[in-house]
């Protein structure tokens, strides 16, 4: 295998990564851009970096996506990236400012370092290194930059309406080795028009287990007593109380602690709001949804996960947001029908918010075989291809899979406080991507 990555590539990649990490590119819709000024700005800056590296670039006039391309030919190889991030969450849990990239103990720490700005820059510089090594592309390689991946995927939906589809490709937005199958994703909002004397807003995003949930109102003392009885972690303030949980990605929700569910468990001692009762009686502290769906699991992709991600209570209505990741062999209709029946029984109105079908690419395809061979040769790790509960842009096109950039030994810090990526892992991912791109786009 050739050695493409040089120290100059590592240094330049780190500099450019710091640049784009500084943009707080989480969803903040406004009248001028589809997803917010910071998202627009990071897209423009990334395309500027791409041009410096020798790519030809294009940006959607309305700001839904952009891409950077090298090479010639009929075939199109896609690297499917995203530049948006989830909100930083509770700033008190960060040891440094989430949008001021910090190097400490061999890690780069910032929101987006692991998901997905770090892997994006690693893949871009991998191709740059291959070109610097004097290789010639036998097809076009297009880095497609989405900017709404953490929400509704409106970016790639727009791309697919207007642009050329890939022949094959990968998304550097998961875990090594190769993710050849991804669970189905179904996000639901449950509504109730009942009135309330207080306001409550909890949960930052549908794909994150909420790490805190705050109640402000007349029942603070009573709720504190209930929290103590249940041995729940919380913070007491003069006029409010915050239930503490543990934030993880929704795909790993059984590993988290859901603060919204815990708040509902104690708040129902004072309030019979339908959504709170649904959380207490149906969702419970069970991130598998067993009380709603029963045992849902398959050999190929494992268990169903169910995350009560967001809760909004105000004097006019209540909205509960739920994120479900279900096994690849299960039908969407089964999941939807079960949840709808439970919601209706609880007096809630069911609304489908987002749906992404499962991904499956056979193991014997040249794409999977080549990516696996590169990874195994570079690392000596012989573990088989994997199935994920995460949803990556690989689902948006045929013959695409997720490929890295998180190495198996690395802690998954995406969507949590102090998100970070080891510099050693960043550079190893660059090396793996360079060899993979050389094999699939040059030979």
In the prediction, which pLDDT does 91 show? Answer: 95
In the prediction, which pLDDT does 312 show? Answer: 96
In the prediction, which pLDDT does 189 show? Answer: 97
In the prediction, which pLDDT does 31 show? Answer: 87
Interval 149-156 mean pLDDT? 94
In the prediction, which pLDDT does 211 show? Answer: 95
Interval 147-157 mean pLDDT? 95
Answer with the residue of higher pLDDT: 286 or 238: 286
In the prediction, which pLDDT does 409 show? Answer: 95
Strand 168-171 with 76-82, pairing: parallel
Put the strands of the sheet holding 102-104 in their side by side order: 102-104, 107-109, 420-422
In the prediction, which pLDDT does 304 show? Answer: 96
**Catalytic (active site) residue 149:** yes
In the prediction, which pLDDT does 195 show? Answer: 84
pLDDT tier at 443, thresholds 50, 70, 90: confident
In the prediction, which pLDDT does 38 show? Answer: 98
In the prediction, which pLDDT does 301 show? Answer: 85
| Phi and psi torsions of 51, nearest 5° | -60, -40
pLDDT tens per residue across span 380-433: 999 999 988 888 999 999 999 999 999 999 999 998 899 999 999 999 999 999
Interval 348-362 mean pLDDT? 92
Q: Would you say residue 299 has pLDDT above 90?
A: no
Give the C-alpha separation, 110 to 299, whole Å.
Answer: 36
Interval 356-360 mean pLDDT? 88
pLDDT mean across residues, the chain: 95
Q: Kindly state the percentage of the chain with pLDDT values over 70.
A: 100
User: Could you give the maximum distance between any two Cα atoms of the chain, in Å?
Assistant: 70
pLDDT tens per residue across span 206-254: 989 999 999 999 999 999 999 999 999 999 998 999 999 999 999 999 9
Q: Kindly state the percentage of the chain with pLDDT values over 90.
A: 89
One of 69, 148, 149, 211 is an active-site residue; which one?
149
One of 84, 115, 419, 435 is an active-site residue; which one?
84
Q: How far apart are the first and last CA of the chain?
A: 13
- Give CA separation, 69 vs 119, 145, 158, in Å: 17, 11, 18
In the prediction, which pLDDT does 122 show? Answer: 98
- Closest among 426, 415, 423, 424 to 203, alpha carbons compared: 415
- Closest among 338, 336, 329 to 360, alpha carbons compared: 329
Interval 68-81 mean pLDDT? 96
pLDDT tier at 327, thresholds 50, 70, 90: very high
CATH architecture label of 184-356: 2-Layer Sandwich (3.30)
- Give CA separation, 131 vs 97, 172, 434, in Å: 36, 19, 10
In the prediction, which pLDDT does 50 show? Answer: 98
CATH of domain 7-183+359-441: 3.40.630.10
In the prediction, which pLDDT does 241 show? Answer: 97
Between CA 14 and CA 20, with CA 17 as vertex, the angle to 5 degrees is 155
In the prediction, which pLDDT does 390 show? Answer: 80
Give the C-alpha separation, 443 to 428, whole Å.
Answer: 22
In the prediction, which pLDDT does 205 show? Answer: 87
Give the C-alpha separation, 291 to 22, whole Å.
Answer: 43
pTM score, whole prediction: 0.77
In the prediction, which pLDDT does 238 show? Answer: 86
Domain limits, the chain: 7-183+359-441, 184-356
In the prediction, which pLDDT does 388 show? Answer: 86
pLDDT tier at 300, thresholds 50, 70, 90: confident
- Give CA separation, 264 vs 38, 150, 438, in Å: 34, 26, 53
Q: Which residues of 303-327 are buried (b: 16+ CB within 10 A; e: fewer)?
A: bbbbbbbbbbbeeeebbbbbbbbbb
pLDDT tens per residue across span 16-62: 999 999 999 999 999 899 999 999 999 999 999 999 999 999 999 99
Beta-carbon contacts of residue 229 (< 8 Å; ≥ 6 apart)? none
Q: Would you say residue 348 has pLDDT above 80?
A: yes
């Amino acid at each position: 295998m050739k050695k493409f990555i040089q120290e100059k590539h590592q240094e330049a990649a780190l500099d450019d990564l710091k640049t784009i990490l500084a943009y707080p590119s989480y969803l903040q819709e406004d009248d001028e851009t589809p997803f917010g000024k910071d998202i627009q700005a990071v897209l423009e800056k990334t395309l500027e970096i791409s041009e410096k590296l020798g790519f030809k670039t294009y940006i959607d006039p309305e700001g839904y996506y952009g891409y950077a391309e090298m090479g010639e030919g009929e075939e199109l190889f896609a690297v499917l990236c995203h530049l948006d991030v989830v909100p930083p969450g509770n700033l008190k849990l960060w040891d440094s400012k989430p949008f001021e990239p910090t190097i400490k103990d061999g890690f780069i720490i910032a929101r987006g370092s692991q998901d997905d700005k770090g892997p994006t820059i690693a893949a871009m510089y991998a191709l740059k290194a291959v070109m610097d090594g004097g290789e010639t592309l036998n097809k076009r390689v297009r880095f497609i930059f989405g900017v709404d991946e953490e929400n509704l995927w409106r970016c790639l939906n727009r791309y697919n309406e207007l642009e050329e589809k890939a022949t094959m490709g990968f998304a550097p937005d998961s875990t090594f080795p190769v993710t050849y199958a991804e669970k189905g994703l179904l996000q639901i909002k449950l509504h109730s028009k009942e009135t309330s004397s207080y306001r409550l807003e909890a949960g930052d995003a549908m794909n994150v287990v909420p790490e805190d949930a705050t109640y402000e109102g007349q029942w603070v003392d009573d709720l504190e007593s209930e929290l103590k009885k249940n041995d729940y972690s919380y913070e007491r303030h003069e006029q409010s109380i915050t239930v503490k949980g543990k934030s993880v990605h929704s795909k790993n929700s059984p590993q988290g602690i859901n603060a919204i569910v815990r708040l509902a468990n104690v708040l129902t001692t004072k309030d019979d709001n339908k959504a709170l009762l649904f959380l207490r009686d149906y969702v419970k502290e069970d991130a598998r949804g067993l009380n709603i769906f029963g045992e849902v699991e398959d050999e190929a992709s494992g268990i169903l996960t169910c995350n009560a991600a967001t809760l909004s209570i105000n004097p006019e209505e209540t909205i509960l947001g739920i994120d479900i990741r279900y096994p690849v062999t299960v039908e969407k209709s089964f999941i939807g029908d079960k949840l709808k029946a439970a919601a209706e029984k609880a007096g809630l109105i069911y609304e489908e918010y987002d749906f992404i079908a499962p991904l499956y690419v056979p193991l014997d395809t040249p794409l999977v075989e080549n990516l696996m061979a590169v990874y195994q040769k570079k690392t000596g790790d012989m573990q088989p291809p994997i199935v994920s509960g995460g949803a990556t842009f690989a689902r948006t096109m045929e013959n695409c899979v997720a490929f890295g950039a998180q190495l198996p030994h690395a802690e998954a810090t995406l969507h949590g406080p102090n998100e970070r990526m080891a510099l050693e892992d960043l550079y190893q991912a660059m090396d793996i991507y360079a060899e993979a791109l050389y094999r699939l786009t040059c030979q």
